[in-house]
Amino acid sequence: MGPDAAVLEARAINVWRGERHILRDVSFEVHPGVFMKLTGPNGVGKTTLIRVVCGLLPAESGEILWRGKAVRSASEQFHTELAYLGHPNALKADLTARENLRFLAGLRQSLEDSDIDRALDRVGILSRGDLVARSLSAGQKRRLALARLLLADARLWILDEPATNLDVAGVTLVEDLIAEQVAGGGLVLAAAHQRLLDESPITERLELS
């Protein structure tokens, strides 16, 4: 692979929170076609690591590299190729499902109505498209956030507990979406404490402790 290959790399990441040394020399690489599953007990620093990788949180030491370049110096290019799904769904309660997608996913891509309908259909809430987000159930809100991921058209997905609040069918949906993304040459890094593609050959594990 050349130096520009779409590889995400973390080198010796260290993060302190006050007196606590949360992340100790964490290093890993994610290659195209791989689903990197981040596991570990609650409070071990999964979310912290994810936020560091995204560039939302600076690390005390260590570096994140995307395509061989430090993301700190080329963050805009990194962010155009990155879709992030955090703990909060980033939805506006007073906007409809469609409007939520148009106003947030639309910042990245110029969207047609058909794009939005296709994404809503894929996550199974097309019939709820014109309801305000406040009237959706917790699981439906998560599905709406997943639809935003699809519309981001990004090479790299970074997900924090993507299957939160989802029913069995919803967890299968997340697994399918991840598998599709990976099959298309994409990369997925996800923190998950429940079962998610555990027996799949595309899955690699990073256990934090």
Partner 1 sequence: MRRANVSAAAALVFKRDLTLALRRWDEVTQPLIFYVVVTTLFPLATTPDLAQLRTISGGVVWVAALLSSLLALESLFRSDVEDGTMEQWVLSGQPLAWLLLSKVAAHWILTGLPLVLISPVVGTALGLPFDAWGTLVLSLLLGTATLSVLGGIGAALTVGVRRGSVLLSLLVLPLAMPLLIFGARAVSMQMDGDSPAGPLQLLAAIFFLALSLGPLAMSAAIRISVES
Among 110, 168, 201, 209, binds partner 1 (CB under 8 A): 110
φ/ψ (deg, to 5) at 90: 55, 45
Tell the smallest beta-carbon distance from residue 168 to partner 1 (Å). Answer: 25
Q: Does 108 bind partner 1 (CB under 8 A)?
A: yes
- Provide the minimum distance between the beta carbon of 201 and partner 1 in the complex, in angstroms, as a whole number: 30
Binding of residue 62 to partner 1 (CB under 8 A): no
If one counts every other C-beta atom within 10 angstroms of the C-beta of residue 138, the result is 11
Instruction: List Cα–Cα distances, 100 to 78, 116, 164, 182, in angstroms.
Output: 24, 10, 19, 26
- The answer to whether 92 and 57 are in contact (CB under 8 A) is no
Q: Which of 11, 31, 69, 79 binds partner 1 (CB under 8 A)?
A: 79
At position 64, the amino acid (one-letter code) is I
197: number of Cβ within 10 Å: 20
- Binds partner 1 by CB under 8 A, chosen from 115, 162, 182, 196: 115
Of positions 31, 102, 124, 204, contacts partner 1 by CB under 8 A:
102
Site size for partner 1, by CB under 8 A? Answer: 33
Count CB neighbours of 69 within 10 A.
Answer: 14
Q: By the criterion CB under 8 A, which residues form the site for partner 1?
A: 54-58, 76-77, 79-80, 82, 84, 86-92, 94-95, 99, 102-104, 106-111, 115, 151, 153
